[in-house]
C-alpha cells in the first residue's frame, strides 16, 4: 500500500477513488511513566516514554487506515494527514486519514 501526504504520486495515475478512509486509536498515559516524565520536566529534554507512546499510536492508526483502504480495493492512500486531540486529561486520540485510491503506472 502506497501512502503519501501529497495529492499525486510521480509516475502514477489515479484511476479510481474510494473516498475518505481513516484509522484512530486512543491511548492513556501510564501513572508510572507520568512520574518519570515529571522528573524529566524538571531537568528538561525529550520525554522518551511519551514519544514512544505517540509513535506506537500513529503506527496503529495508520495500520487501521490501510486496512480500511484495502477492504475497499485501494492500493494507495493519498492526501494522508494526522490529527490529535485530548479525550481527557490522561488520554489522547490519534487519527490518520486520507483518500483511498487505485493507482497505476502512468502512460508514457
CA 87: distance to chain centroid? 17
Residue 83 structural domain: 2-105
How does pLDDT run across 14-23, given as a tens digit for each residue?
A: 999 999 999 9
CATH number for the domain spanning 51: value is 3.30.110.70
How does pLDDT run across 92-102, given as a tens digit for each residue?
A: 899 999 999 99
The number of domains in the chain is 1
pTM of the model as a whole: 0.83
d(CA 95, CA 75): 20
E strand or H helix at 44, and its extent?
none
Nearest to 49 by CA among 63, 30, 24: 30
- pLDDT-derived band at 77, boundaries 50, 70, 90: very high
Name 22's Cβ contacts closer than 8 Å, sequence gap at least 6: 64, 65, 68, 95, 96, 97, 98
Amino acid at each position: 500500500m502506497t501512502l503519501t501526504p501529497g495529492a499525486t504520486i510521480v509516475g502514477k495515475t489515479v484511476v479510481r477513488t474510494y473516498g475518505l478512509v481513516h484509522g484512530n486509536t486512543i491511548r492513556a498515559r501510564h501513572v508510572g511513566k507520568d512520574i518519570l516524565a515529571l522528573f524529566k520536566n524538571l531537568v528538561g529534554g525529550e520525554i522518551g516514554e511519551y514519544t514512544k507512546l505517540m509513535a506506537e499510536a500513529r503506527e496503529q492508526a495508520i495500520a487501521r487506515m490501510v486496512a480500511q483502504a484495502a477492504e475497499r480495493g485501494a492500493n494507495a492512500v493519498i492526501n494522508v494527514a494526522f490529527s490529535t486531540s485530548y479525550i481527557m486529561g490522561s488520554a489522547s486520540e490519534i487519527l490518520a486519514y486520507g483518500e483511498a485510491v487505485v493507482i497505476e503506472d502512468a502512460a508514457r
